[in-house]
Amino acid sequence: MKTIIFTMGTRGDIQPYIYLARALKKNGHDVKLGSHPCWRKLIEESGISFLSVGPDIDIEMEAAVIRGKSSNAVLSMLKTMNFIFKIIQNSTNEIYEACKGNDLIIVSHSQMGAVEAEALNIPTVNVTLQTEMIPEKKKPQTFINKLIGGLIGKQINKPYNKIRKVYGLKAMRVGDSLMSQKLDLIPISKFVVTRSPYWEDQHILTGYWFEEEEVYSPSEELTAFLKSGEKPVLLALGAMSFEDKAETDKLDMFVKAFQKAGCRAIVQGFQKSLEEYKLPETMMSVGSVPHSWLFKQCSFVIHHCGFGTSAATMIYGIPSIPVPHVLDQMGFAMQLRNLNVATEPLKAKELTEENIYNSIVQMQDTYDEKSKNAMEISDKIRTEGGLSEAVQLIESVI
């Protein structure tokens, strides 16, 4: 079966679809993954055919610029979404041509490719990362809920209706009209999220998508650092630590909090800040290291609560301190806190040395309990087989 998966966004928005593409390919499917040109190397080195879509930009730098211009998490997310929507809208001709001749289009959370697939009468399967985006159609609706849902749906539909007009398709009125009626895959564990009884049958929790530990050989420097003392803390803010300009003050807060708490630490990101910042001997900086390997070397992780990193903390059984920056990350942070595998979230715009230190102390005081909970969830997650479940579901409905 010839299949294209379209997705846009930062590294965390790409990785789940790389796993899915590899699983489909292993099962004999002809798979391509379409995304920003900047992800060509990552995708091709993963063994997946790459399809370039949209302008050749550094999406993580663009996201950092947008994030830096807004102190409000909701506005930051909306601005990022609008930025992505414009790329999708301006790339519709590329997407349409790429869809031709395929048997299936897998539509990511951005809904990229859904309209073009409809215009070509090609079946689609959806992937949803945020359960809040799934309509509860079986739930009795009040007049107010219908009104609010209609207003939100109208705003979400705007960019897609502009694309629909290109292909002579009727404008959508309902916000979820783009979603596949055949299958919507939710790559989240049922041990983490409870399925809503108000969802339609096609919305299925498969379990997280991940692969067992990737083959990775650490540098001699990293190996020596890990052997030189107790397990370090990992500071991994993902794309949120990608800097438009140096953020030395922010990095310094974490470094001083680590020193005050007596922690060794590994820092991922902050590359511009680290050009002129000397870390103490109890800390070191690393580049791109697979979470499947790195997380197991650390005691706990301080992270931005993107979908991929939040999932990884539970897959690999490591407790965490959440530092959400935008709205969806706040949802994942609360999810971790409610499972008692994380501390209370730290607000990204209210970071100080003192509140970082207090969160580290809170983690140290409750570490045994949170670590035990994280390992128990990890053991359960590994029984689900999320990727194989996703492939079987795709093959059963198409």
Q: pLDDT tens, 353-370? A: 999 999 999 999 999 999
Q: Which of 14-23, 122-131, 236-245, 331-340 has the lowest mean pLDDT?
A: 236-245
Q: Percent of the chain scored above 70 by pLDDT?
A: 87
* Residue of 302, 307, 227, 296 lying closest to 267 (CA atoms): 302
Residues 157-173 pLDDT 10s? 778 888 999 999 988 87
pLDDT at 34 over 90: yes
Q: What is the 8-class DSSP label of residue 342?
A: B
pLDDT given for residue 98 in this prediction: 95
| Helical pair 353-381 and 307-315, crossing angle rounded to 10 deg | 60
Task: Give strand ranges (E) for the chain.
Answer: 2-6, 30-35, 49-52, 104-107, 124-127, 184-186, 203-205, 233-236, 265-268, 283-286, 301-303, 320-322
Would the pLDDT of 60 be above 80?
Answer: no
pLDDT of residue 336: 95
For residues 8-14, give the mean pLDDT. 83
Among candidates 25, 21, 19, 103, which has minimal Cα distance to 398? 103
Do 206 and 393 meet the contact criterion of CB atoms below 8 Å apart? yes
- Cα(83)–Cα(289) distance, integer angstroms: 29
DSSP classification of residue 158: H
User: Which pLDDT band holds residue 11 (cuts at 50, 70, 90)?
Assistant: confident
- Domain boundaries of the chain, sorted by first residue: 2-127+136-178, 220-381
Instruction: Give the model's pLDDT for residue 121.
Output: 95
Is pLDDT above 70 for 71?
no
Are 291 and 264 in contact by the 8 Å Cβ rule? The answer is: no
Sign of the alpha-carbon dihedral angle for 21, 385, 192, 198: positive
CA distance 210 to 15: 9
Q: Could you tell me the pLDDT band of residue 63, with boundaries at 50, 70 and 90? A: low
190-225 pLDDT, tens digit per residue, is 999 999 999 999 999 999 999 876 678 889 999 999
More confident residue, 72 or 220: 220
Q: In this predicted structure, what is the pLDDT of residue 226?
A: 95
Right CATH for 220-381 from 3.30.70.260, 3.55.50.30, 3.40.50.300, 3.40.50.2000:
3.40.50.2000
- Evaluate the CA torsion angle 289, 295, 296, 297 in order and state its sign: positive
Percent of the chain residues past pLDDT 90, beyond the cut: 59
- For the segment 38-54, the average pLDDT, to the nearest whole number, is 93
pLDDT attached to residue 120: 96
**What pLDDT band is residue 346 in, cutting at 50, 70 and 90?**
very high
pLDDT of 78:
67
pLDDT band per the 50, 70, 90 thresholds, residue 278 = very high
Q: Cα dihedral sign for 336, 342, 344, 349?
A: negative
Q: Distance (Å, rounded) from C-alpha 390 to C-alpha 206?
A: 6
Spell out the residues 6+ positions from residue 80 whose beta carbon is closer than 8 angstroms to its own: 63, 66, 67, 326
- Is the pLDDT assigned to residue 58 strictly greater than 80? no
What is the CATH architecture assignment of 2-127+136-178? 3-Layer(aba) Sandwich (3.40)
- Residue 180 per-residue DSSP state: -
Evaluate if residue 391 carries a pLDDT over 90: yes
Paired tokens of 342: 């994380």
Task: Please check whether residue 14 is in contact with residue 35, taking contact to mean a CB–CB distance below 8 angstroms.
Answer: yes
| pLDDT tens for each residue of 368-387 | 999 999 999 999 999 999 99
Q: 159 with 88: CB under 8 angstroms? A: yes
**Three-class secondary structure of residue 276 per DSSP:** coil
From the list 317, 312, 345, 322, the residue with the least C-alpha distance to 235 is 322
Q: What is the per-residue pLDDT across 115-157, written as a single tens digit (0 to 9) for each?
A: 999 999 999 999 999 898 888 887 777 656 555 555 555 666 7
Exposure string over 241-262, b if 16+ CB within 10 A, otherwise e? bbbbebbbeebebbbebbeebe
Count of beta carbons in the 10 Å neighbourhood of residue 44:
12
Separation between Cα atoms, residue 318 and residue 314, nearest integer Å: 6
Cα separation values, 204 from 65, 183, 198, 380, 395, Å: 36, 8, 12, 18, 14
The yes-or-no answer to whether 2-127+136-178 and 220-381 have a common fold is: yes
Average pLDDT along the chain: 87
Predicted local confidence at residue 245, as pLDDT: 63
Residue 182: predicted pLDDT: 92
265-287: average pLDDT: 90
